[in-house]
Amino acid sequence: MQKIQNHTLLLDNILLTVGYKDYIIKEKNGLLLENVNEKPIEADGMFLGSEQEIHYQKGLSPQNTARIILHEIIHAIDDTFSMELDEDTVNRLACGFTLLFRENPDVMKKLIVASGQRT
């Protein structure tokens, strides 16, 4: 995990709507994924569908934070629309969208406007 001291991307406690579901994005310390019959594994992000929350690890670089949150948003889309994406596909989509947004900010802004952004 790449970490930066005293960094926040200002996404803590933000409401995210995916289809008919609302999720709260929360910045956390020490995220652990439970493993059956094994020790918990450190994680940079978590999608908690039943709690309608997305958690991301505090202290990551802005680029990693963006990628992790996009990864968890893809899980939320998958959950909402019952797509049954595997973890490898979610990882590839998150990396692809992170690059797309970073390399094409003007196009992304125009797409937001064209899609009928709520005000």
Cα pseudo-dihedral 25, 17, 63, 100, rounded to 10: 170
**Tens digits of residue pLDDT in 60-111:** 888 899 999 999 999 999 999 999 999 999 999 999 999 999 999 899 888 8
Hey, where are the domains in the chain?
A: 14-114
Q: Which residues contact 50 (CB under 8 A, 6 or more apart)?
A: none
Q: How confident is the model at residue 3 (pLDDT cuts 50, 70, 90)?
A: very low
